[in-house]
Amino acid sequence: MTVSETIEQSNRWRTPQSGRRLLLAVVVIGGLIYGWSSVGRSAPLPEAVNAARVTFQSQQAGEVSYYVDQSGNGNPLVFIHGINAAPSAYEMKPLFEHYQGERPIYALELPGFGFSERSKRTYTPQLFGDTIREFLRTQVGEPADVIALSLSSEFGALAARDEPSLFSSLTVIAPTGMGPPRSIEQDTSERILNVVSFPLLGKPLFKVLTSRSVIRYYINQSFEDAADQGLIDYAYATSHQNGASIVPFNFLSGKLFTWDAFESIYTQLTVPTLALYDKDPNVSFERLPELLDTNPNWQAERIAPTMGLPHWEELDKTVAALGSFWSAE
């Protein structure tokens, strides 16, 4: 089966509504049911992976946290979690644990998540891309193989476009920005952000969005079988920290998407890049064949059967695809 045929098959699994619209609908309905209430006390937040956790002061994003294990040898390997209402470095745990002791490995916690600073600021794709570049330059210190998940694929690609010397390669797992071109007006995005950030509305909305039942529902959408319970528990804990709603509200407003990412970022990459994909309820990969046809530095591998988190459900296949990709560089 060709890449085009597998992409077409995977797109049949997409829901008619975007995940962002569905999230907003669930939140609004739940907020009306719950009424105004506080999010509650912060839940204890354990370490996401069994490794040393380090922080550095970013010029762009304040205090930024990451996990590191340098017991292995060879080329550094960097993991970057996705963006949603409750993401964390825990999302990359299966790959982190697999390569632990084999190579120097890092798991970055993006601004607004995990133990990184969650302060109120203007969050943009460029901020995340610049933070990744600063992290690679100042903390890793040599070209790395970088693996980014979902929307963070756009941020990792932005960093690789702007400073390719920091990258040995880039792997994007279930990347956004591969679907039909679409746009959202800046003023519309600002209005959405203002509405969902309004305290009398935002607190109950975020309380619903990060309830255990809603978190379980959306994480289950990314699994062919039942979602990993540890992933659900950590998502709940990390979404119940002070400032946890700030970046997710930016995400829901559409401000963190680069609407022309395909043309302005992905086609501009010069580093070796691998896309791992299969079915996904909220992400389209229909333009991936076009990218492969016109950009020789791009490769793609379908990891089936999966729904957006292949490294959780098909770890062996994911590792095999990564090994083949890196050995061919």
State the pLDDT at residue 194.
60
Q: Which of 4-18, 35-49, 112-126 has the lowest mean pLDDT?
A: 4-18
User: Where does 3-19+47-187+256-328 sit in CATH, by number?
Assistant: 3.40.50.1820
Question: What are the tokens at 24?
Answer: 């907003």
Q: Domains of the chain: which residue ranges?
A: 3-19+47-187+256-328
Nearest to 265 by CA among 185, 148, 187, 186: 148
Q: Are 112 and 82 in contact (CB under 8 A)?
A: no
Better pLDDT: 170 or 192: 170
User: What is the pLDDT at residue 14?
Assistant: 44
Residue 320 neighbours by CB under 8 Å, 6+ apart = none
Q: List, for residues 47-94, the tens digit of each pLDDT value.
A: 999 999 999 999 989 999 999 999 999 999 999 999 999 999 999 999
- pLDDT band per the 50, 70, 90 thresholds, residue 181: confident
Query: CA-to-CA distance for 326 and 320, rounded, in angstroms?
Result: 10
For 241-282, write each residue's pLDDT tens digit.
Answer: 999 999 998 888 888 999 999 999 999 999 999 999 999 988
- Provide mean pLDDT across the span 199-211: 80
Q: What is the DSSP letter of 96?
A: H
Q: What mean pLDDT comes out for the span 24-45?
A: 55
